[in-house]
Amino acid sequence: MKYWSQIVILAFLSYSMQSCSILSAAGLSSQGQPIKKVFEKIDPTSQSVVDHSQWGVLLKKHVNSEGLVDYQGFLKDQKELEAYLKMLAANPPSESWTTAELLAYYINTYNAYTVELILQNYPIKSIKDIPGAWTKGRVPIGDKTLSLGGIENSILRKMNEPRIHFAINCASLSCPNLLNEAYVPEKIATQLDEVTRKFINSSKNSLSKKEVKLSHIFKWYRKDFQVQGEKDLIGFINQYTQTKIAPNASIDFLEYDWSLNEQQ
């Protein structure tokens, strides 16, 4: 019995070491990228240190008002998308950047590489069909390579800005809509307010005073939603909806549709 226990322990340690080496290569690591926390309000005076206009043109051309994507159209402009991605990689963020500049860079990077990931595997029914979609290193920034999960969990979520959850898009129908314009430092606070309000009041949530059925986003990332530094999911939602929800309202979570967010 002792012999088999030792075998099991050794096997577990071996697997853990392999897993750790995989994660350390990319996984969910920030790879040392600069992170700044949002305190109260985002400075609206920030100016773009990186030009995101090329991404904005592609979004306006291939994303409709409902946030659905024309991936076949994007394929025709893949060279333009790849040129934008190369520009992002060649202009890594630095500690001198403002919070607004960092947010715009990381959100646009996440969304652009998600579109590129779909194009590389198109046609496809769901991003979940792609092995390592969020954990594989596929995002070069300077001399580092990050994963999509690393950008989301180890950078954006560390910036104390819960509205990022409604700005990044996971190429699925239940995700917040992909905004058909690029995020820019000069107006990112307004853009984040807009996408948050639109998502909360959309059919992806069902709200009433005493009962709410919410997107699974609010379950997965519940601890991120705070009001004045305190965890308060209902309080956060009430900032963006005309239907004021009671603090003791019952909460349920809707099934998540991972089908590709493609225009039909």
- Long-range CB contacts (< 8 A, 24+ apart) of 137-142? 137/25, 137/26, 138/26, 138/113, 139/109, 139/113, 140/89, 141/31, 141/33, 141/88, 141/89, 141/92, 141/93, 141/109, 142/89, 142/92
Mean pLDDT of 8-14: 38
The helix/strand count (H/E) of the chain reads as 9, 7
Going from the C-alpha of 176 to that of each of 15, 42, 88, 213, 230, the distances in angstroms are 36, 21, 23, 16, 24
pLDDT, tens only, 123-161: 999 999 999 999 999 999 999 999 999 999 999 999 999
Write down the residue that tokens 């001399």 correspond to: 143
Domain boundaries, the chain: 15-202
Judged on CB neighbours under 10 Å (0-12, 13-18, 19+), 222 is middle
Whole-structure pTM over 0.85, yes or no? yes
Weakest-pLDDT range from 9-18, 180-189, 208-217: 9-18
Share of residues in the chain with pLDDT > 90 (%) = 80
pLDDT, tens only, 255-264: 999 999 999 9
Contacts (Cβ under 8 Å, ≥6 apart) of 141: 31, 33, 88, 89, 92, 93, 109
Measured between alpha carbons, how far is 213 from 255 in angstroms, rounded to an integer?
10
